Amino acid sequence: MTQSSNGPTTLSPARTRFALLALAMGGFGIGATEFVAMGLLPDMAADLLPGLAATSPDAANAAAGWIISAYALGVVVGAPTIAAAAARWPRKRLLLVLLAAFSIGTIASALLPTFPLVLAARFVAALPHGAYFGIASLVAASLMGPGKRARGVALVLSGLTIANVVGVPAITWLGQAAGWRVAYLAVAAIFVATFVAVLLAVPWQAGDPAATMRRQLGAFTRVQVWFALGIGAIGFGGLFAVYSYVAPLATEVTGLDPVLVPVVLIVFGIGMTAGNLVGGRLADWSVRRSMYLFFAVLAAALVLLGLTATNPVGLVAGVLLVGASSAALSPAIQARLMDVAGDAQSIAAALNHSALNIGNSLGAILGGAAIAAGLGYVAPVWIGLLLTAAGSVLAVTSFAVDRMRGRRGIPMPSVTGAMQVVAD
Question: Phi and psi at residue 179, in whole multiples of 5°?
Answer: 110, 145
**Residue 26 counted as domain residue:** yes
Q: How far apart are CA 403 and CA 410, in angstroms?
A: 10
Tens-of-pLDDT digits for all 424 residues of the chain? 434 333 444 667 778 788 888 998 998 998 888 878 877 888 888 888 888 878 887 788 778 878 887 887 888 788 778 877 777 788 889 999 999 999 999 999 999 989 999 999 999 999 998 888 878 877 887 787 666 666 777 777 778 778 877 888 888 889 888 888 999 999 999 999 999 999 998 888 776 666 666 666 777 778 888 888 888 888 888 888 888 888 889 888 998 888 888 788 888 888 888 888 888 778 878 888 888 999 999 999 999 999 998 999 999 999 999 989 988 888 888 778 777 876 666 677 677 777 777 787 788 888 888 888 888 899 999 999 999 999 999 999 988 887 877 655 544 444 333 333 333 3
**Residue 192 counted as domain residue:** yes
Nearest one of 232, 218, 190, 192 to 83, comparing CA atoms: 218
**Residue 49 counted as domain residue:** yes
Q: Provide the pLDDT for residue 186.
A: 94
Q: How far apart are CA 131 and CA 127, in angstroms?
A: 8
Q: Provide the pLDDT for residue 238.
A: 84
User: CA torsion angle for 225, 84, 129, 421 (degrees, to 10)?
Assistant: 70
Question: Phi and psi at residue 10, in whole multiples of 5°?
Answer: -95, 120
Q: Is 272 exposed, middle or buried (0-12, 13-18, 19+ CB in 10 A)?
A: buried
Taking each helix axis as running N to C, give the angle between helix 149-162 and helix 261-285, from 0 to 180 degrees, rounded to the nearest 10. Answer: 180
- Which letter does DSSP use for residue 2 in this model? B
Domain count, the chain: 1
**Residue 297 counted as domain residue:** yes
**Number of C-beta neighbours around residue 307 at 10 A:** 13
**Residue 6 counted as domain residue:** no
Range of the domain at 327: 13-423
Beta-bridge partner residues of 2: 10
Q: How far apart are CA 378 and CA 308, in angstroms?
A: 10
DSSP for 352-409, please give it.
HHHHHHHHHHHHHHHHHHHHHTT--TTHHHHHHHHHHHHHHHHHHHHHHHHHHHHHTT
**Residue 4 counted as domain residue:** no
**Residue 3 counted as domain residue:** no
Question: Phi and psi at residue 5, in whole multiples of 5°?
Answer: -70, -20
Q: Please give the model's pTM, rounded to 2 decimal places.
A: 0.70
Position 319, amino acid: V
Position 331, amino acid: P
- CATH code, domain with 185: 1.20.1250.20
Calculate Rg over the CA atoms of the chain: 20
Q: Provide the pLDDT for residue 419.
A: 37
**Cα dihedral sign, 145-229-346-241:** negative
**Residue 338 counted as domain residue:** yes
**Cα dihedral sign, 239-241-242-246:** positive
